[in-house]
A = this chain, B = another copy of it.
Amino acid sequence: MQQQSRASQVSLPKEPVQRAWVALQRFGPALLDRVETELKAAGFPALEWYDVLWAIEREGPLRQRDLAGHMLIARYSISRLVDRMEEDGVVTRRECPEDGRGQMVHATPAGLNLRKAMWSVYGKAMREALAPLSEKEKLQLTAILTKLA
């Protein structure tokens, strides 16, 4: 959503459950949004593109199924996301040898370049977004969120 001149008047409730919930529902997405905005401002595509490319770069060509699993998004979303990325030339679909239904999604050289270019902005934005936290707090946050998975 982006532009949000007006300061967010967020008052947290009293009970711990609700406080945590509200914080999670509000500040998490707000952070995400800030970073996405920076990416967009730099002329890059959204984070999902990065996620796809990075997953493939780490683990090699992946099936759409696995991409969906990684990114926690619906099958049809992946299907269309890959459509767009393929159209843009950053990935290609190839047959899956051991499963006739499958589509192996490969990254193209252009895709690898894009990912690297995005990282220069993304990595910085991410670090800035989390800068208010100490190292210890970052680990605490991770630990707590992991419990919720």
Binding site for B on A (CB under 8 A): 1-4, 6-10, 12, 16-21, 23-33, 47, 65-66, 68-70, 72-74, 77, 126-127, 129-130, 132-133, 135, 137-142, 144-149
Question: How many subunits of this chain does the assembly comprise?
Answer: 2
Q: What is the bound-complex CA distance between A35 and B142, given in angstroms?
A: 21
Q: What is the bound-complex CA distance between A33 and B71, given in angstroms?
A: 13
Q: What is the bound-complex CA distance between A147 and B18, given in angstroms?
A: 17
Cβ A31 vs Cβ B69 within 8 A: no
Cβ B72 vs Cβ A7 within 8 A: no
Known: A10-B149, A21-B126, A32-B25. A138 touches B72 (CB 8 A): no
Q: Which chain B residue lies CB-closest to A136? A: B16
